[in-house]
Structure 1
Amino acid sequence: MSETAIVGKTEVDKDIDASSDVLGEAEGTPAAESAEKPRKVSDGLVRGIVFTVLGGAMWGMNGTISKVLMDGYGVAPLWLACVRELSACWLFLIAAGVHSPNRLRGALSDGRSLLSILSIALFSILFSQVAYLEAIHWTNSATATILQSLEVVLVMVYVCLVNRRSPRKREIAGLMLALAGTFLVATGGDPSKLQLPVEGLAWGLGCAAAAAVLAIQPIRMIDRWGNFTVNGLAFLFSGLILAAFVQPWANVPQIDPAGIALLCCSILMGTFGAYALFLQGTKMVGSVRGSMLATTEPMMATLSSIVWLGAVFSPADLLGFAMIIVMVFLTA
């Protein structure tokens, strides 16, 4: 999933789904515009589908680009996370300044909101960035993205606990598929051995937990200040915190022009561009349909890993991937 953006793609209940309208709200777009004429609604739906599919595909490709940078150029996961955050944050803030300047100024002048956004930076942005890139480092973009999709199960459990209800039949079926799919991906079908490195499995599951936090924690702040404002400030805070430890200026990897182009592509297309497209697309098609269309992310990650990196997946891997993707459709 969106590895770096605050967006609720995994809502599985009416309460979470209602909040997702906030997460998918386009900055400065009047709601009445979407209900003028049937033809415009239809055109908007088509555009929304295209935007959502492209956004998910860009996120999937971004995972493979990250793998190339880490393996081909020796870029450390934490260095990459820090540089992407400190670069992309300004794109989000510029977008906020253009589309919703009053919200941006309001957030900057509200001390309590800034503390809340700092919390989002720590527990949502920083956690998800580091976990996702570490999972890619230890495995590959396809496996990391598939394991990240398990966030849907965690959000489902959260919704059931909050609403004090039992899981529905299709949610139980999705949970069973998630467990079976994870088993196949981790062991290749042989319970006597672990096919993934222990670190890769641990970071992959941590990535799912981080994505679940992303789907839940920022809702109130985004409702109040908007997506671009909250993302821009949260990325900035998270990047500054990482910079204090990583010191990216002191540990610059040797990157040739092709590597610099890949890094720019990761920032512009894979982070800001993918987020902006998915955000707008989800606003147009709704969060449930958006979560299903976003399965282009693991599909693109898998295809690009095979074509670009020559990754080889066993039949058990592919079956496990398919089970987890079907799980998304059952529980979304």
Structure 2
Amino acid sequence: MVTQKQRQLWAFLAGLACVMWGISGLFAKSLFNYSSEITPIWLSQVRMVTSGIILLISAGIMGQKPLATLKNKHDALTLVAYGIFGLLPVQLFYFITVQKANASIATILQFIGPFFVMAYMTLTHKQTLRRLDLIAAFAAFIGVVLLATHGDFSHLAITPEVLMWGLLAAMGVATNTLIPINILHRVSSLVVTGWGLLASGICLIIVHPQMPHLAHPSQIIFPVSMVVIIGTLIPFQLMTNSLRFIKPTTASLLDAFEPFSATIGSVLCFGLVLKPLDWVGSILVVLAAMALNIMPRKKKSKIDSM
């Protein structure tokens, strides 16, 4: 049985994973600015395949027998589905949206993902949403909008193409959260994440093999390493494992920390000046994430108190 302390700990770690994704986005942006040869598809291929191999080797060293998981046909298909329909869209489509529009539009559209999760859990698992959940979701959404737009809504010019990629990324947030839930009760999160990343990376390579031609390739080693380590290896492991202890809706809504950390990183690294509404948005996101983990205490019965 999951205790309250375990739930709070893994909610914190899931939030930390989202912070890492936000920081890794700064490195990804620097790579896209460095050369037009570096595309979202190539960067996704590198981070997925490299991270997948490292995680599977780690699982093997720890005696978790990653190859044994593939002997179960249902588990193998689930891992492939997790990679292609979960991990791939949540990473690749987000980067494409950034490329076609900007990070603000991509963040807002991707944040629709938790609402897909809520709708799915409500319709299929008859999960009852508390009033606090709905208020937190609304507050977090408003906070992300303020962070992404600086309170200036005149920049939200969304073309049909941008809308399509953004909604696909949002659906990826939902599927990335929902698909691995059942298998995680039986298979190590290292194995699940490793095979999922490797499957999605191989799929991308088959569909669109690509190799950038750079004059000084050594200059991209560090930012690419950061995208792999703090943008894939550590956070996906934390987020996947957290699903054992927290609700899918909680995990997906904690994604609000991604734009928050990206904004703070931009302030520290690139001298971004925050407007008052940016601070309001930041506070809303943090309070909303904290509110999701407020669990009402059960009243003790007279029999329990005796």
SS of corresponding position for 1:259: helix
| TM-score, normalised via structure 1 length | 0.70
Query: Are positions 1:129 and 2:91 aligned together?
Result: yes
Q: Quote how far apart the aligned CAs of 1:60 are.
A: 1.9
Counterpart Cα distance in 2 of 1:49 and 1:164: 22
SS of corresponding position for 1:225: coil
Gap regions ≥5 residues in structure 1: 1-17, 22-34, 36-41
Q: Which moved more, 1:162-171 or 1:194-203?
A: 194-203
Counterpart Cα distance in 2 of 1:290 and 1:322: 19
Aligned counterpart, 2:246: 287
- Aligned CA distance change for structure 1 residues 86 and 105 (closer, same or farther; 3 Å): closer
Query: Are positions 1:94 and 2:57 aligned together?
Result: yes
Q: Deviations over 1:290-329 (max 9, x none)?
A: 8888765433211112333444555445544544444434
Query: Are positions 1:240 and 2:208 aligned together?
Result: no
SS of corresponding position for 1:109: coil
Q: Quote how far apart the aligned CAs of 1:109 are.
A: 1.9
| AA aligned opposite 2:41 | L
1:111 to 66, 73, 76: 73
SS of corresponding position for 1:273: helix
Aligned counterpart, 1:328: 289
Q: Quote how far apart the aligned CAs of 1:88 are.
A: 0.9
| AA aligned opposite 1:173 | I
1:63 to 20, 25, 28: 25
1:263 to 224, 241, 250: 224
2:35 to 69, 73, 84: 73
Q: Deviations over 1:246-295 (max 9, x none)?
A: 2123x444554232211112112321133345567x489x5379888876
Equivalent residue runs for 1:160-171 within 5 Å: 160-164=122-126, 167-171=129-133
1:274 to 232, 235, 244: 235
Aligned counterpart, 1:228: 190
Q: Quote how far apart the aligned CAs of 1:231 are.
A: 1.6
Aligned counterpart, 2:303: none
Whether the aligned pair in 2 keeps the contact of 1:139 and 1:197 (CA below 8 Å) is: no
Equivalent residue runs for 1:29-68 within 5 Å: 55-68=17-30
Equivalent residue runs for 1:180-199 within 5 Å: 180-181=142-143, 184=146, 193-195=154-156, 197-198=158-159
Paired residue total: 288
Counterpart Cα distance in 2 of 1:260 and 1:61: 17
| TM-score, normalised via structure 2 length | 0.75
- Aligned CA distance change for structure 1 residues 217 and 201 (closer, same or farther; 3 Å): same
| AA aligned opposite 1:222 | L
- Aligned CA distance change for structure 1 residues 269 and 182 (closer, same or farther; 3 Å): closer
- Aligned CA distance change for structure 1 residues 238 and 290 (closer, same or farther; 3 Å): closer
